[in-house]
Structure 1
Amino acid sequence: MTLSALLFAAGMAAAATPVTHYRTADVDGVSIFYREAGPADAPVVLLLHGFPTSSHMFRNLIPALADRYHVIAPDYPGFGESAAPDHKQFAYTFAHYADLMDGLVAKLGVQQYALYLMDYGAPVGYRLAIKHPERVTALVIQNGNAYEEGLKKFWDPIKAYWADGSDAHREALSFLVKPETTKFQYTDGVSDVTRIDPDNWGHDQPLLDRPGNKDIQLDLFLDYGTNVPLYPTFQEFFRERQPPALIVWGKNDTIFPADGAYPYKRDLPKVEFHLLDTGHFALEDKADEMVPLIHDFLDRNLAPKGGP
C-alpha cells in the first residue's frame, strides 16, 4: 500500500470515530460541565452518572453510542468539572439537580431523550421523568434504584442519618468519601480486577478531597432520603407510560444489589432484563457485554440517524 493510501485509510478511520466535545453551560447561574458527541439531529441519550464519579464514568460508552445517537453526559454540581459552590450557599439536593439538568437540556434545545440511569442518576432522572413524562423515549437502568427492596444493609447507617440528621450520624458517614471506599466501589464484586482501570479512583478521589466537598457529599447523603417517598410516583410513571426499558445491572453490587433490579418487572413487564457478573460500576469491566445490549436496544426503540 502506498503512503498516500495509508494516509487516506488512517483519515477514514479517524473520521469514523465520533468526536467527544467537552463543554460548559450556565444554568441558573451555575457552571455545568457536559460531554457531548454524535449527530446533532439524532435521538438524544442523556447519561446521568452516579456517586462518587462524574461523566467520566461514560468516557468509553459515549463514542460507542455516538455513531448513531446524540449523547449528552453532564456533571452535577460538586462533581467532576461542574461548579462546586459552598454548601452553605447552594442547595445540594436531588430536586435541585433535576431542575438543573432540566435547565441544561432546555438550553441545548433537547425536546426528548432516552435516559441512562446509574446510582444517583436514577433519582435525578426519574425526577426529570415525572416532571416531563412525555419527553422520555426509553430507559437504560444500570444499578439505579427505585424500590425499597433495593435498600439493603449498606444503607442502614445512611437511614440512621435520615432519621435524625444528627452531627454524630453525619460524621459516621465520613468513610463514604475515603480512598478505600472509592476504590471498593470499583472493585467489589468484580471477578477480574485487572479489567478495572485504577485511574478511576485516581480521578474521583482528588475531587472528593477538595476543600468543602465532604460537606457537599454529606448533604447529598441526607437528601437521598427525599427520594424514597417518591418511589411510588416513579413506579406510577413506569406503569402509566410503559417506556421501553433495558436493565443492565451488576448483580454483585453491595450498594445497589440485584434485589432492587427485580421489582422493575412488576411495573415494566416488557423490560429487557440482564444481570451481569460484576459490581457497582459495571461499565468498567463489562462494557464488552453491555455496549452491544445497549446499542441494540436503542436501535430497536429509537429512530437513529446515520449508520447502515
Structure 2
Amino acid sequence: MRATPLLRGLSILCLGMLSLAATVQAQSPAPAWPTRPGTVVQGYPAGSAIDIVTRHLAAHLQKTTGQTFIAEVKTGALGNIAAQYVARAKPDGSTILLTANATHAANIHLFKNLGFDPVKDFVPVTTLHSLGFLLLINPARVPVTNVAGLLEHIKNQNGKASYGTGSASARVASELLLQIRGDLKATNVPYKGSSQAMSDLMSGQLDFIFADPGSALGHIRAGTLRALAVTNKERVPCAPDVPTMSEAGVPGYDLTSWFAVFLPAGTPQPIATRLATLANEAFQTDEGKAIEKNLCLSSFPGSPASLARLVETDTAKWGQIIKRAGIEAQ
C-alpha cells in the first residue's frame, strides 16, 4: 500500500523534529556552575605552602564567579583525610580538592587502606605547581656544611640519628638519602606537617629534615638552619647557592612534588574544564605570581587530560622509588 502525501509529510516532519532535537541537545550549554557556595579543601597544616595556594585559589574563584568560596583545612594521614572527604562529596563542583602528589601518586604505596581510590573516586582538573625539597640541618646540632658531612654524622651516631617527615614526599626523600649507603640508620619521627618538623629541627631535637623551600628560606637567611642540597634536577631560583643533590655527591637524585586540583567522581566534565581554566588563571595574576615567587614554586599549569596522565605515570614512578627506598605500606 502506497503512502499518502499526508503520511509522507508527517514522516518528514517527525524526522525533522528529531534532527532538530538532536541539534539542540548537542548545542545545549554546559551545566551552570557554580550554583551554590563552594569549598576548596586541602589536607596539610594551616600556613603551609599548599594552604596559601588554596586560599588564593578560593579567593580567585569567588572574585571571578561571584559565588562564595572558602578554603578549608582537613589535616591527617598525609593528606588522605581531605581526599576521603572530597571523594564522598556531592559531585556538583562545590567541593574541590587541592592536594599534593602524595594522595594521588605516593600514598597508595605507603598505606594499605587509603579510604579512597585515587583514580576511580576523582575527576582530574589541573596541575598548578611543582616544587622540590631542601635538605636541612640545624648547624648548632649538626656542624657540617655538605651532604657528605651529614652522611658521616649519621654513621657516627650508630643508629641514634633522627629525621622528621611531615609529608609522604619528605619521607621518601629521607629514605632515599639513607639508602645511598647500606650502613646508615636513622629514626623517622612523623609529623602532621613540615612546619612542626622544622620547629623540632630548630630546637635541636632532629638531625635533618626535607622541607619545601618557601617555608625554610627565612630560617636559612637568619642562620638558624642550613640547606645542604635541593632535590630538584636543577638549582632553584629562590636559593641559587644551594647545590642539587647530584652536585652534592648524590648522582641521579631527582625528586619533585606537585600541587593539583581534583573534583569528586561524577562531576560533569564541563565543570572540570571550566575550573581548570580559572585555577590556572589564578596564578597568572600579579598576586598569584608573587605567591609562587615567595614560596619558591614553579608554575605547572595543566588540564584534566594532562593531570590524568600525570597521575598514571607518577603512581608508577613513586611506587618504584618507594620500593627502592625499602618503605613498607602501613
Could you say which TM-score interval applies, normalised by the shorter chain? Answer: under 0.3
Of structures 1 and 2, the one scoring higher in RCO (CA 8 A, sep 6+) is 2
Give TM-score, length-normalised by structure 1.
0.27
User: More helix per residue: 1 or 2?
Assistant: 1
Give TM-score, length-normalised by structure 2.
0.26
Higher Cα Rg, which structure? 2
